[in-house]
Amino acid sequence: MIHLTCVSCSRTYKKEKNRYFCDNCGSIFGTLVVKYDYDKIRPMLASFSKTAPMYQFEMLLPVKNYSSVADAVGGTPLLEFDNLLGMDKLYVKNDGMNLSASLKDRASLIAVNLAVEEGYETIFCASTGNAASSLALISASSPLKTVIFVPEKMPAGKLAQLKVAGVKINRISGTYDDAFDQSMTLGFSKHWYCRNSAVNPYLLEGKKTAAYEILVQLDYQVPDYVLVSVGDGTVISAIIKGFEEFKILGLVDKVPTVIGVQAEGASTLKHVFQKGKPYTPIREVVDTIADSISVGYPRDVIKACQFLNRNGGDMISVHDEEIVEAIRDLASMTGVFAEPAGATPLAGLKNMLRSGKIKPHNKVVILVTGNGLKDISAIGG
Amino acid sequence: MIHLTCVSCSRTYKKEKNRYFCDNCGSIFGTLVVKYDYDKIRPMLASFSKTAPMYQFEMLLPVKNYSSVADAVGGTPLLEFDNLLGMDKLYVKNDGMNLSASLKDRASLIAVNLAVEEGYETIFCASTGNAASSLALISASSPLKTVIFVPEKMPAGKLAQLKVAGVKINRISGTYDDAFDQSMTLGFSKHWYCRNSAVNPYLLEGKKTAAYEILVQLDYQVPDYVLVSVGDGTVISAIIKGFEEFKILGLVDKVPTVIGVQAEGASTLKHVFQKGKPYTPIREVVDTIADSISVGYPRDVIKACQFLNRNGGDMISVHDEEIVEAIRDLASMTGVFAEPAGATPLAGLKNMLRSGKIKPHNKVVILVTGNGLKDISAIGG
């Protein structure tokens, strides 16, 4: 019921072990998109719950059986506030309330269960922190061995989650991009299961469920704008894919305008998107307090640009000081304590309200991808 | 539909502003228990959800209207694991997945909404940390001003949550017990709403919903044992009250055996309980890494002892080293990263399995009250 399509050459592949990207186009240009037989799925759709865990969407996911921790992934609240920032309504999707306190659990749950299904013994990933701590905790109760590659600079909370889970940690001297490259070399040579953003097409399948949940929680009333922080480009691709699929399935009649928000000091994907077609991956030196989106060589850049372009989305960036202010705004106005990358969409919203691109009566959702407890250094903790 | 009964003299009071404890018996002996007209409620009971937020139990709660953040409180997962510690099944209720990452949100939601209903402008509490950070984030979107009294020693994560929410923080030189005493003096003189454990009888009403959820999530199959960490005695009282109420309402036919687990260095409530009737509050000097249960003068001691005694429960204690080991065991076996007090019940379970008091075939639930990200010092973070 599933096949994979190359994001650049549209060649299709079947679901099979060790199939991560297109043989023709390689790991950056040839990332794959998972496609389902939507006509077969349409009659299977039942009434979705506003609070159930992510695996309620199993007919739209590539995994057959879920482990015990699945009950702790997804079903995060969409909080609704009146009269914040002069807006009629503001919705906050709080994905810092997953098991490991980030949205990445949605991807890790898919990766761990697929790796078990396909008979792997070891799973690995490179991560700025959240994917690592998520994989460590989600795989803890599985039979898999777990190997994590992380850059030297990693917030204390995320490192603590790794350490306590008892996984093998490879701290790489260098950036996230360096850790990524090293993990690919070692991981593939050892034939370990790869839970790396962008490279593994199934990670989107987990992350897209945040978009499904937003629509279910809004009673299928499509918001005008959804703001999402962007690093590698996988989360925003996944969110747009989720919205598109609910449209394909006839559950909604349009896709909201999705705005990607980057830190000014790490806005590589924005640069590629704004330069326009043909989208060409670049590698930049980056620096931001928002470690989760501190990515200089985004791996899902083609997919993100394509998804954004065909749905009228856009990319913007905000300064680190605006991110810190947004952390405080968000916590003191809504009670949601976000890590820097999690508050970045609020900083973007404030910019767009000031410039008039978003109006106070627009229906806006900001997606908070991680809990502030993971990195308290940004607020002087 | 609600009245209040003194835990010592059984005198009853009606629900009214500023009614916190029994006039005859004072704030320690005269804590109040909230009673409902259960005959009227029984026909109102609908089918409860395993994932819905806490306010699904509104007919058994003292609040009429809930604020926006209510969707982020309760409905935490009960995770089920096979073959851990040689047990057939082990259930982990993960209340570290609330908005502020602790069970205390259940109490703060009640307190904030009652304070608004009753027309207060300011709310206060003294706390070892979790109640403080919970109150700060739950009240952030309310019209209330918030004043928090905390002891000097407070884990970084909990302090960060307070700071970012923008509340007034009074750091008291001394222990939790000192902070508690000072908060009572100032708070009552200013006529602020009191969200202090034990003193405010409605806090139990929030916390008891964790017990309701355990029963709903187990399809009303009553577990043999539920293990809970104990400081002031309010959480364990609330949990037992929740089980008792579902029995009164005919939803289950018995109350599980509840075991309170304290840190060896802060086991005051255990000492009072084991000395037996008449239960006499005492004040001890305490020291443990588990800050949430580092309480030398427990304020809900009478209630906890009475509830435990009439249901066949017991109190045990574990060493700090066992707590640290339990944090690692829990994370590496289940993926649940708990703060020290949150892992304390697992340390207690290991003791009781060793001594044979709990058997591998027993159906056991451990209640994890807070997320490990709040205090990473215990594991060397």
Nearest CB to B376 within list A99, A137, A156: A156
pLDDT value at A32 more than 90: yes
Question: What are residue A255's DSSP bridge partners?
Answer: none
What pLDDT is recorded for position A55? 98
Nearest CB to B51 within list A51, A82, A334: A51
What pLDDT is recorded for position A369? 98
Cα-trace Rg, chain B:
19
A335/B138 touch (CB, cutoff 8 Å), yes or no: yes
What pLDDT is recorded for position B8? 95
Which residues of chain B are in CATH 3.40.50.1100 domains?
A: 68-102+204-379, 104-194
Type of residue at B377: S
Type of residue at A172: I
How many beta-carbon contacts under 8 Å exist across A and B?
169
CA–CA distance, A52 with A37 (Å, rounded to integer) = 24
What pLDDT is recorded for position B47? 94
- Residue A238 pLDDT grade (very low, low, confident, very high; cuts 50, 70, 90): very high
pLDDT value at B322 more than 80: yes
What pLDDT is recorded for position B89? 95
A252-279 confidence digits (pLDDT tens)? 999 999 999 999 999 999 999 999 999 9
B19-34 confidence digits (pLDDT tens)? 999 999 999 999 999 9
Best probe of the A interface among B69, B146, B374, by most A CBs < 10 A, is B69
Under CATH, to which class is A68-102+204-379 assigned?
alpha beta
The whole-number average pLDDT for the span A175-181 is: 89
Nearest CB to A161 within list B68, B79, B337: B337
From chain A, the residues in CB contact with B53 under 8 A are: 51, 77
Best probe of the B interface among A92, A145, A164, A324, by most B CBs < 10 A, is A164
A56-78 confidence digits (pLDDT tens)? 999 999 999 999 999 999 999 99
Nearest CB to B331 within list A165, A372, A380: A165
What pLDDT is recorded for position A177? 86
Chain-centre distance for alpha carbon B231:
9
B180-235 confidence digits (pLDDT tens)? 999 999 999 999 999 998 899 999 999 999 999 999 999 999 999 999 999 999 99
Decide: helix, strand or coil at residue A16: coil
pLDDT value at B1 more than 80: no
Mapping DSSP onto H, E and C, the string for A34-69 reads EEECHHHHHHHCCCCCCCCCHHHHHHHCCCCCCCHH
Under CATH, to which class is B104-194 assigned?
alpha beta
From chain A, the residues in CB contact with B67 under 8 A are: none
A335/B140 touch (CB, cutoff 8 Å), yes or no: yes
Straight-line distance from the first to the last Cα atom of chain B, in angstroms, rounded to the nearest whole number: 49
Best probe of the B interface among A98, A141, A159, by most B CBs < 10 A, is A141
What pLDDT is recorded for position B197? 86
For B148-197, the DSSP string reads EEEES---HHHHHHHHHHT-EEEEESS-HHHHHHHHHHHHHHTT-EE--T
Structure tokens, B265: 């260095």
CA–CA distance, B198 with B125 (Å, rounded to integer) = 11
Chain A closest-CA separation from residue B223 CA (Å): 18
Contact B334, B84 (CB under 8 A): yes
ipTM: 0.96
Please report, rounded to a whole number, the percentage of residues in chain A having pLDDT higher than 90. 93
The whole-number average pLDDT for the span B133-143 is: 97
What pLDDT is recorded for position B198? 87
B164/A94 touch (CB, cutoff 8 Å), yes or no: no
B77-118 confidence digits (pLDDT tens)? 999 999 999 999 999 999 999 999 999 999 999 999 999 999
Contact B367, B227 (CB under 8 A): yes
* Residues 6 or more apart whose Cβ sits within 8 Å of residue A23: A30
What pLDDT is recorded for position A197? 86
CA–CA distance, B114 with A27 (Å, rounded to integer) = 56
What pLDDT is recorded for position A325? 98
A79/B94 touch (CB, cutoff 8 Å), yes or no: no
Phi-psi region of A119 (alpha: psi -120 to 50; beta: other; left: phi over 0): left
What pLDDT is recorded for position A46? 86
Structure tokens, B339: 């703060």
∠ at Cα B370 (B364, B371), nearest 5°? 110
